[in-house]
A and B are shown apart, each in its own frame.
Chain A
Amino acid sequence: MENKITALNSLHKKYGAKLVSFAGYEMPIQYSKGIIEEHKSTRENAGIFDVSHMGQLFIRGDSLLAEDLEKIFPAELKNCKLNQSKYSFLMNDEAGIHDDLIITRVADGFNIVLNAACKHSDFELLKKLLGDKYEMNLSEELSLIAIQGPKAVKILEKIIHGVSELNFMNGNSFNYQDESVYITRSGYTGEDGFEISMKNRYAELFTEKLINEGANLIGLGARDTLRLEAGLCLYGHDIDINKSPIEASLKWAISKNRIISGGFIGFEKIKSQIENGTSKVRVGIKPEGRIIARENTVIFSEDNKNIGEITSGTFGPSIQVPIAMGYIESSFSKVDTKIFLEVRGKKHPASISNLPFYKKSYVKGVNQ
């Protein structure tokens, strides 16, 4: 199947991108300076990410819609304020994760940002669950551009006035060239930043403006090292249909009220896992030395028992050590527990680590 392209495809090429096939799209894995430079420039300055391959689903509706969505998602949506975003999951009855997503309450409904590889199946599933009650649109006309890093706010504010007023995990509509664009203060790098949803036809010139103000284009390679340093899950690797949010150590994303009130898909399983614990749990892992343990690396206990598997692993450019995440038998999940990772037939010492590996610097409440 032919790959789709985003509205920034020619811009990627202009800036020397190495393009790869990703979730049905031709996307930049890196630009000419390479992953480590891109990673560091995001942590120290500001990085631009084309995330237009991700799904932008809009569901139109009123308070009844919030009620219906609460029957699906474990997030608090009836009490969700206008322009507030929530991280949540689309699950099956066994609390296996179909997708992780961000839901934002907007004036006439909810916006949901979905993973690229899941967006069409998510759409079909949600359509089945909601019936024909609500108008649903998985947009092909919108680009999604993220700007992340300590200088993101200063750079974006120069182009779109007022964005610095946004709180973390909140959004609003802004005026850009007489068009309304929707911007949330969010991202997936462990840095302060924004995600800008705008019509495709504005995307390229807008991105050029960000570049002219000093931000750098960042590919999927550095996006992966950034999110892993920040301890964030990548769908299809660290979470999938065979893992629940409780096993994935993502209980924080399920509101306390919803755990009591229930009524969402997967609730029974979630409740029982909270009460009884799970046999496996997602942890951070730090190998000793420089060895990198990639996805599918088997984890052993000190007495040589197979106790789990790595789901993501790389070298953390900002912290200058290798890092990984994986699922391990719960009795071995305590921080500093010594484990062994089998890489190329040899067992290498490692230990369980706190997450994130890299300390976040989100702006929690500029107006509070």
Chain B
Amino acid sequence: MSEVKFSKEHEWIKLDGDTATIGITQHATEMLGDIVFVELPELGSSVAKDGNAGVVESTKAASDIYTPVSGEIIENNQSIVDDPAKINADPENEAWFFKLKISNKSEMDSLMNKEEYEKFSKESGN
């Protein structure tokens, strides 16, 4: 199992072979507050690195979700669509957002490791 990496948009990504599982970080959920709605990218659609790949809405506002790498969407987590509160409860495990077939593994290189991300989220304060 490969290491979990993180984006500046507060997504996490775990690569397993060609399959990347993507979700949002604990830190992101703390900033967003209670999540009450989620929209995921369509199965089979292609998404480009840093491109829009869904929406989450908290009681306060809507926020876009970005994909940290390019690829084709192969699975959606319907359980968070049905019960968005799961995202606040367990964002970095059970409440993953989508899986994609990664098209260019080198895109992983520019992402942060856990330590770098923790430093980044603390320093950026957002």
Contacts and interface: CB of A to CB of B under 8 A. Distances in A.
Contacts of A292: 36-37, 57, 62
A221 B37 contact: no
Contact of A35 (B37, B60, B81, B84): B60
B45 to A, nearest CB: 15
Contacts of A294: 61-62
Contact of B59 (A36, A290, A291): A36
Nearest to A321: B36
Interface in A184-239: 221-222, 225
Contact of B36 (A37, A222, A315, A344): A315
Interface residues on A, range: 10 to 19
A332 to B, nearest CB: 25
Contacts of B60: 29, 35, 221
A97 B59 CA distance: 27
Interface residues on B, range: 10 to 19
A322 interface: yes
Interface in A326-357: 344
B48 interface: no
A30 interface: yes
B55 A36 contact: no
A140 to B, nearest CB: 30
Contacts of B84: 290
Nearest to A317: B59
Contacts of B33: 30, 34-35, 221
Nearest to A346: B39
A49 to B, nearest CB: 16
A343 to B, nearest CB: 9
B59 A322 contact: no
A30 B57 CA distance: 16
A22 B3 CA distance: 42
A34 B62 CA distance: 16
Given A35-B34, A221-B33, A290-B37, 15 more contacts: A29-B60, A30-B33, A35-B33, A35-B58, A36-B34, A225-B59, A290-B36, A290-B81, A292-B57, A292-B62, A315-B36, A315-B37, A315-B59, A317-B34, A317-B36
